[in-house]
DNA sequence: TGTAATTAGTTTATATGTAAACTAATTAGC
DNA sequence: GCTAATTAGTTTACATATAAACTAATTACA
């Protein structure tokens, strides 16, 4: 039986490999959309939630660059994100005495309060979703994703960009 | 051992469930970033490639809405995407005789030529990536992603949005 | 058949994402 | 110590994404 692109009936051109890759892709997109909506009463996006979680649980103060690395967010993107979050009172930029180039980012009281409201419901949501899977299956998913990420990174280093 | 958010050393607050979910999330983001870069010599994004592939392999002419459903792209997003693709000569909007509200979207000659150039390298890339996995593992990934998507959809219908 | 509801697509406002060029501060290396 | 290279962050230009309000066309149905 031929497999489908994007889980739909109108289009078919994918093989099993491709379908698996697309599956991860689409599921990722779906999770992103769902999360954005989940937080939308409190935050303008799931990315802001991620930033706040990283700030809350970081073992040391983080600079913008470090924050970006944690979240795969480009430095040119971090600037605007933090601008908006600063404007809505969620975070603060603190100058770093040793290095006048960078800032340490910290949650404000308001930021902490809002995180307090959404963190547990979020954790409950994740639990509920993943209740679908057994412990072994959870481990499988963890391992498969780690391997896929590694494969992407490996391929990227050998074939930087497709050229005609 | 405590697990990490975003595969990094500075932050730890996730359990195994959460890690698996984040794994899918991050891998999806990674694939998106990689694909965007892969196509960047020919197309402004991987989304444009996906649109062109769907158009090429569709069994019947697609309207903007149908295209959007295939790709999880919102109708208000499709408009701009197709505007840009029309401007760069990749697609055409054809009026539909029976229904003056909608358009059928088709690839132009230029669009087909460009797709011709990138489709095979893309397929090769997917093959190379997924060579990491055995046939059984590929099937696992397919099944897991399908179940996760279903769980997201099911949860979404019961708890539409988190509210304070 | 005439009105209400629905559907297709656009527009606006705002957020996130990338690349490239840029400034300012720091570090490397002679 | 001085110069070159690097690093942190910003800015610009553009692409993608969502929600909500909107127009125009079609369909439902009383």
| Predicted local confidence at residue B11, as pLDDT | 55
- Mean pLDDT within B110-117: 97
| C-beta atoms surrounding B43 within 10 Å | 22
Q: For residue B8, what are the contacts with CB-CB under 8 A and spacing of at least 6?
A: A69, A70
The C-alpha angle with vertex A67 and arms to B31 and A42, in degrees rounded to 5, equals: 90
pLDDT band at residue A128 using 50, 70 and 90 as cut-offs: very high
Q: A95: Cβ under 7 Å from strand D?
A: no
- Mean pLDDT within B110-139: 95
- Mean pLDDT within A51-59: 96
Strand C-proximal protein residues, Cβ less than 7 Å: A 44-45, 47-48, 72-74, 76-77, 80-81, 84, 98-101; B 29, 33, 36-37, 40, 63-66, 75-76, 78-80, 82, 93, 99, 101-103
Structure tokens at A50: 């991620």
pLDDT greater than 60 at residue B40: yes
- Any B CB within 8 A of A128 CB: yes
pLDDT band at residue A164 using 50, 70 and 90 as cut-offs: very low
Residue, of A122 and A163, whose pLDDT is higher: A122
- Kindly report the pTM of this predicted structure: 0.89
| Predicted local confidence at residue A15, as pLDDT | 85
| Predicted local confidence at residue A159, as pLDDT | 58
Compute the nearest-CA separation of A64 from chain B (Å). 14
Provide the H-helix boundaries in A40-108.
Answer: 46-57, 64-71, 75-87
State which H helix or E strand residue A144 sits in: helix A135-158
pLDDT above 70 coverage of chain A, percent: 88
Is residue B67 within 8 A of residue B73, CB to CB? The reply is yes
pLDDT greater than 80 at residue B78: yes
Q: Cβ contacts (< 8 Å) between B137 and chain A: which residues?
A: 144
Q: Cβ contacts (< 8 Å) between A122 and chain B: which residues?
A: 162
pLDDT greater than 90 at residue B15: no
- Any B CB within 8 A of A61 CB: no
**With an 8 Å Cβ cutoff, are B130 and A17 in contact?**
yes
| Predicted local confidence at residue B13, as pLDDT | 63
């Amino acid at each position: 039986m031929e497999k489908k692109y994007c889980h739909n009936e109108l289009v078919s051109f994918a093989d099993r490999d491709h379908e698996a890759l697309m599956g991860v892709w689409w599921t990722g997109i779906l999770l992103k959309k769902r999360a954005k909506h989940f937080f939308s009463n409190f935050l303008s996006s799931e990315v802001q939630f991620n930033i706040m979680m990283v700030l809350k649980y970081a073992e040391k103060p983080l600079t913008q660059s470090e924050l970006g690395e944690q979240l795969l967010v480009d430095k040119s993107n971090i600037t605007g994100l933090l601008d908006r979050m600063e404007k809505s009172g969620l975070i603060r930029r603190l100058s770093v005495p040793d290095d006048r180039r960078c800032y340490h980012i910290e949650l404000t009281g308001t930021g902490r309060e809002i995180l307090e409201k959404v963190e547990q419901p979020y954790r409950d949501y994740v639990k509920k979703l993943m209740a679908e899977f057994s412990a072994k299956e959870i481990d499988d998913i963890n391992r498969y994703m780690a391997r896929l990420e590694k494969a992407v990174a490996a391929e990227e280093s050998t074939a930087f960009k497709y050229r005609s």
